[in-house]
Structure 1
Amino acid sequence: MIRLLIADDSALMRKLLEGIFTAEGDFDIRTARNGNEALELVRAFDPQVVTLDVQMPGMDGLTCLSRIMIEAPRPVVMISSLTAEGAEATLEAIELGAVDFIAKPGGAVSLEIDRLRPLLVEKVRAASGARIRRTLRLTERVRHQIRGAGLASRPRPSRVSPSPVAKIGKVGMKPGSATLPGLVLIGTSTGGPAALDIVLPQLPADFPWPILVAQHLPASFTGPFAKRLNRECDLDVVEVNRPMPLKPGTIYIGKGDADVMVAPRAAGVIAMPVPAKGSYLWHPSVERMVASALDHLEASHLVGVMMTGMGNDGAEAMKRLRLTGGRTIAEAESSAIVWGMPGELVKNGGAEAVRPLEDIAETIIEMVNSCAAN
């Protein structure tokens, strides 16, 4: 049995969520009406996973989460609204150590919750077995101390000392396409925002390739997420909310609830948002992004990176990338919050290198330098 604690100030939401997981037959469930009750039950019930509403009276979800991550770290899935305010709060929760989030249904909750049932169950099941990274807990302790002292500053992620980046000429395009030095393609899902927050700030300002990221998020979240990353990175970070030329020195975050694709134009190669395609389960789709890059760029000047996430999105396309001359990196099981997506890439033979999260930025730089030398 999976011990599950549901914390929500709405009696209706508690009842609906409890009903969903009770019907699964393998959940032992307790409920809490606010943050204080949730903390008491974390101590007494020792849940394997917690769902936590962001907005609760008294002790709100973020405060409760920070206490859980300091006192008794465990997988937490946030329940949040799709508003701009909800997006900011959810991204803050992920920085504090939450594994994932579920968008709170709008309108007729009792009808919408049924539509979300499969996703709710899948996310909570995945979270129950997720790995809580020690670095996230340590970062939160530091932040807690800073907030307690009344300071507003936020510690930047610790940096490695990566290898120098070589300058790369304009190569790697298929015949008839405009030139581009190369492209890094990153796919992430559950736990991805926290992983990207560690990897991307380690890339130096003179990094010579553009970086395109497919992170499974709703549309209202990717804009605020890009802005947060932009404050942390030496490279510029933007959301792909319209067709954009791919330029070195920029990280492009695919817009949520859509797919992001690579396409040639007379003036150069672009990244563009396209309507989500139903044949792909997750959006932005890693599989579709990598496949579009392979259609228009030489695989020998592509680096694919697969990090934490449940499922197998992108594993087949990244395997094809490697088999046709590209380079690939999969996050190691030892560091991944959920080793679904990178694990599938390793299992299908598509991972050239398997690296813990802290070493991924340096490995990207080494592979880019290798392309420059060839």
Structure 2
Amino acid sequence: MSGANPRAVVVDDSHFMRTLLSDMLEDGGLTVVDTAANGAEAVAAVRDHGPDVVTMDLQMPEVDGLEAVERIMAERPTPILMLSAHTADGADVTFEALEKGAVDFFTKPGGEVSTRMSGKEEQLVRKVKAVAEADVGGGRSGPTTVSGTTTGASDDGGVATADREFGEGGTVVIASSTGGPTVVEGVVGSLPRDADLRVLVVQHMPDAFTSRFADRLDAASEYDVSEATGGDRIGGGEVLVAPGGKHLVVAGAGGGRLRTRLTEDPPEHGVRPAADVTMRSAADAVDESLVGVVLTGMGADGAAGVQAIHDAGGRVIAQDEASSAVFGMPKRAIERGCVDDVLAAGEIPGGILDAVKLEVNP
């Protein structure tokens, strides 16, 4: 990143929003080098100024945000934060933008925008600065594929299973934040159904998005994926996604199933759901094979959680720096000294299978 203050381009078809966002970012220590009213202007601004980060509206005339992301990532890869409506439709198109290479998204509030956006200024500035640090030049954009040498890959992109026998599955808890949705999709989508794992996913995102995220994982995976609703019980071959705005707690385990509940306890690390909550409760409740996975993201969520899993005898995997969009969460976990394996995104599914000791005939 160039200099101490990240250099930003603000893209929105509303002059009012461009001014409001620019003022917020400038007040937060960023330098806004240009603004753009549509996607075509955004592509030109990135080409002319080479910013560290772009905030990108989705719905714009002429060239919309999706096409602009695609063109920017093809011409001059730059970290992009999408500004999305807090709606189901907004969620769908936002996930498309992430597939095309955007790093993360920030939801615009409804109602009186000026008042409600002002209340989110600190959160917005923090997220823009985190996205500005993202590495988008190493081919990390787009869904993760499995190519690790530990396990090999099948023709359809999943982990090769021809030489494996699977016993009773274990429990996997995945923590993910900035840059994580496509990585989670790649990891969950590559786990073989025969492994019979119970998987809990904590991805930092708001409530209008987690149900759509669960739907996407379900479509991409051999596992049955759903958003937690409270009181869920899951067994092998099932994935539960923590809903936005609530913590997911493992309330008990037995007979090959997990019993969960949802709470509205205070946020941890400024987020709810927090992976630390889910991981600590899993470490307390699960006596069988347990694996904690910390993926890309800003902040420290997951570090204390995987420490609890490690202390309970479980295994811990962290995504490596080279494949992480933002190396904050994995780095904090690694610094605790409780991580067993540091793996590239594409090696994590195989690492999970090794960690739960499912490989009988290596």
Fold in common (TM above 0.5):
yes
| Aligned with 1:336 (options 324, 343, 350) | 324
| Aligned with 1:248 (options 222, 229, 236) | 236
Comparing 241-250 with 302-311, which one deviates more in the overlay?
241-250
Check conservation: 1:157, 1:201, Cα contact below 8 A. Answer: no
2:252 pairs with 1:264: yes
Whichever residue aligns with residue 347 of structure 1, its letter is E
**Cα shift readout 1:146-167 (whole Å, capped 9, x = no counterpart):** xxxxxxxxxx984443685543
Check conservation: 2:101, 2:142, Cα contact below 8 A. Answer: no
2:83 pairs with 1:84: no
SS of residue paired to 2:34 = strand
Check conservation: 1:165, 1:365, Cα contact below 8 A. Answer: no
2-structure distance, mates of 1:102, 1:230 = 24
Show the 5 A alignment for 1:267-278. 268-278=257-267
Divergent runs of 4+, >6 A: none
CA gap of 1:139–1:293, structure 2 versus 1, over 3 A, is closer
2-structure distance, mates of 1:235, 1:258 = 23
Please name the residue that 1:288 is paired with.
277
* CA positional deviation for 1:342: 0.6
**Cα shift readout 1:325-355 (whole Å, capped 9, x = no counterpart):** 1100000111111001111000111211100
2-structure distance, mates of 1:110, 1:130 = 28
* CA positional deviation for 1:31: 0.7
TM-score for the superposition, normalised by structure 1: 0.87
* CA positional deviation for 1:301: 1.9
Please name the residue that 2:212 is paired with.
224
| Aligned with 1:55 (options 56, 59, 63) | 59
Check conservation: 2:166, 2:359, Cα contact below 8 A. Answer: no
SS of residue paired to 2:356 = helix
CA gap of 1:114–1:43, structure 2 versus 1, over 3 A, is same
2:40 pairs with 1:36: yes
| Aligned with 1:233 (options 221, 230, 248) | 221
Check conservation: 2:101, 2:141, Cα contact below 8 A. Answer: yes
2:19 pairs with 1:2: no
* CA positional deviation for 1:61: 0.5
* CA positional deviation for 1:264: 2.3
Please name the residue that 1:148 is paired with.
none
Check conservation: 1:162, 1:361, Cα contact below 8 A. Answer: no
Check conservation: 2:73, 2:101, Cα contact below 8 A. Answer: yes
Whichever residue aligns with residue 258 of structure 2, its letter is V
Please name the residue that 1:108 is paired with.
112
Please name the residue that 1:121 is paired with.
125
Please name the residue that 2:149 is paired with.
none
Gaps of 5+ in 1: 141-155, 170-180
* CA positional deviation for 1:279: 4.6
**Cα shift readout 1:10-46 (whole Å, capped 9, x = no counterpart):** 1111111111111134424311111111111111111
2-structure distance, mates of 1:121, 1:87 = 21
Show the 5 A alignment for 1:184-199. 184-199=172-187
* CA positional deviation for 1:277: 2.2
Whichever residue aligns with residue 300 of structure 2, its letter is N
Please name the residue that 1:320 is paired with.
308
